[in-house]
């Protein structure tokens, strides 16, 4: 069993300088304590205790090509000697944007930001400017960044969130401004959307086209198509937040895999394999509002040269289709192996998603939205994740598994063997 006391000591010492010892609220409260890493390479992390962990966090999703893939690192390293930040354009950003338009169905034009949360803000402004309306619909359990106007009802307590069909928006943090222009709805229910759109005051609808932030839930057959039709009918801008699914679920993201094209798309994470790059991409008629300057979008670090070099290198690799083909085989083997281990151990389970990103839950089948999804046995799953961590396998306690091209068969076998041992000991 691995020991994490070196990490604990470093976090406690670091807390003299860093508030809470961590630099994201989502890193607080990790079991047994937040970890401190000394290096990362391929699919492995090394922590302050010298533990080598097989990593399925992958930086919360970005590292589709694994930690520090040679092609991306080489491109970034070369760019370090050329330019860092020019407060102007480089050819790299045009190349990166062109690659996005070649892969993502809705992407006719692109703008880059440094984080997904920022890119979401551009989408909201654009939707409002395009429609001259103010309200945005978001769904319970979906996460679109931590900013005041959208960090609502991401993980609400259902006992205070009211009626399931007409939820009361629940703030995600103290100190948050009102979400007066936000309408929160249950996902995968077409009737509640139409009821809202009929009022004629909805500028945009934002959703994770596959819900990965609160348990993996796929859109019901026909749901995305119907939302698309309704948005077109009522003149509402459809925004897919593909920060997790983009370039991961398929080369063309969830929209490529599921065949429904939104008006605007938010991209991040796998877009730059670990560099701080996000983007909003979309149809020309909407992106022209940004291009003309009618909708303001700024940022000192937008298209920072090294990040753009990494983005081009990442996208060129993804575009070949080879990373997805590789993970199709290792990821499927992992999904099948996990199902077998759970079945053998009599653990009721459900695995939902794709070889590149999937979700595992215990003791529940077939949830369709946030409220039904949280009936899964999340405590049991978190215990399972903790036991696996002690065996050298780092998985998200919430159920998501991210795969990379760096996970080889031997890593999958080691993972399954650790799963077997943990299940045998009982969870």
Ligand X SMILES: Cc1ncc(COP(=O)(O)O)c(C=O)c1O
Using CB under 6 A, list all residues that contact ligand X. 60, 115-117, 143-145, 208, 213, 241, 243-244, 268, 278
Name residues whose C-beta falls within 8 Å of residue 300's C-beta, 6 or more positions apart in sequence: 85, 87
Tokens of 251: 């080369």
CB 307 within 8 A of CB 93: no
Among residues 281 and 422, whose Cβ is nearest to ligand X? 281
Give least dist CB 144 to ligand X, A.
5
Among residues 261 and 265, whose Cβ is nearest to ligand X? 265
Among residues 25 and 200, whose Cβ is nearest to ligand X? 25
Give least dist CB 340 to ligand X, A.
29
Give least dist CB 401 to ligand X, A.
15
Give least dist CB 62 to ligand X, A.
9
Among residues 241 and 369, whose Cβ is nearest to ligand X? 241
Q: Diameter of the chain by CA atoms? A: 62
Give least dist CB 351 to ligand X, A.
20
Among residues 216 and 415, whose Cβ is nearest to ligand X? 216
Give least dist CB 178 to ligand X, A.
21
Residue 290's DSSP bridge partners are none
Among residues 25 and 321, whose Cβ is nearest to ligand X? 25
CB 352 within 8 A of CB 358: yes
CB 323 within 8 A of CB 317: yes
Among residues 183 and 244, whose Cβ is nearest to ligand X? 244
CB 30 within 8 A of CB 5: no
CB 285 within 8 A of CB 131: no
Residue 265's DSSP bridge partners are 240, 281
Give least dist CB 223 to ligand X, A.
17
CA distances from 368 to 15, 114, 187 (A): 40, 32, 8
Please identify the residue of the shown chain whose CB is closest to the bound ligand X. 116
Among residues 185 and 416, whose Cβ is nearest to ligand X? 185
Give least dist CB 337 to ligand X, A.
26
Give least dist CB 260 to ligand X, A.
17
Among residues 267 and 423, whose Cβ is nearest to ligand X? 267
Among residues 144 and 378, whose Cβ is nearest to ligand X? 144
Give least dist CB 336 to ligand X, A.
26
């Amino acid at each position: 069993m691995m020991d994490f006391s070196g990490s604990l000591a470093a976090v406690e010492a670091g807390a003299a300088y860093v508030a809470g010892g961590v630099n994201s609220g989502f890193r607080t409260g990790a079991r047994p304590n937040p970890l401190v890493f000394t290096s990362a390479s391929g699919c492995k992390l090394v922590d302050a205790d010298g533990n080598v962990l097989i990593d399925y966090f992958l930086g919360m999703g970005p590292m589709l090509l694994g930690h520090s893939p040679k092609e991306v690192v080489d491109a970034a390293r070369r760019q370090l000697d050329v330019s860092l930040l020019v407060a102007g354009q480089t050819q790299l950003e045009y190349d990166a944007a062109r690659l996005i338009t070649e892969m993502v169905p809705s992407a006719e034009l692109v703008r880059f930001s440094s984080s997904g949360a920022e890119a979401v803000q551009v989408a909201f402004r654009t939707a409002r400017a395009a429609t001259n309306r103010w309200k945005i619909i978001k769904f319970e359990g979906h996460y679109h960044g931590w900013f005041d106007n959208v960090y609502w009802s991401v993980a609400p307590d259902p006992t205070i969130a009211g009626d399931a069909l007409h939820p009361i928006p629940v703030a995600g943090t103290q100190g948050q401004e009102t979400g007066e222009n936000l309408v929160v709805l249950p996902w995968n229910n077409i009737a509640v959307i139409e009821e809202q759109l009929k009022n004629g005051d909805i500028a945009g609808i934002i959703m994770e086209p596959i819900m990965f932030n609160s348990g993996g839930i796929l859109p019901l057959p026909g749901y995305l198509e119907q939302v698309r039709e309704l948005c077109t009918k009522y003149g509402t801008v459809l925004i897919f937040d593909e920060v997790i699914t983009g370039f991961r679920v398929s080369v063309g993201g969830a929209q490529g895999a599921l065949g429904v094209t939104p008006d605007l798309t938010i991209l991040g994470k796998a877009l730059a394999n670990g560099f701080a790059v996000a983007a909003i991409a979309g149809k020309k008629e909407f992106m022209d509002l940004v291009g003309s300057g009618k909708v303001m979008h700024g940022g000192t670090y937008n298209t920072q040269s090294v990040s753009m070099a990494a983005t081009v290198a990442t996208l060129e690799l993804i575009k070949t289709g080879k990373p997805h083909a590789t993970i199709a085989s290792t990821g499927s083997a992992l999904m099948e192996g996990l199902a077998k281990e759970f079945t053998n151990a009599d653990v009721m389970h459900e695995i939902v998603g794709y070889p590149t990103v999937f979700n595992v839950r215990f003791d529940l089948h077939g949830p369709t939205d946030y409220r039904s999804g949280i009936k899964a046995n999340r405590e049991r799953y978190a215990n399972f994740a903790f036991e696996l961590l002690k065996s050298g396998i780092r998985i998200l306690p919430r159920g998501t598994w991210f795969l990379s091209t760096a996970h080889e068969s031997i890593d999958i076998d080691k993972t399954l063997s650790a799963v077997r041992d943990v299940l045998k000991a009982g969870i």
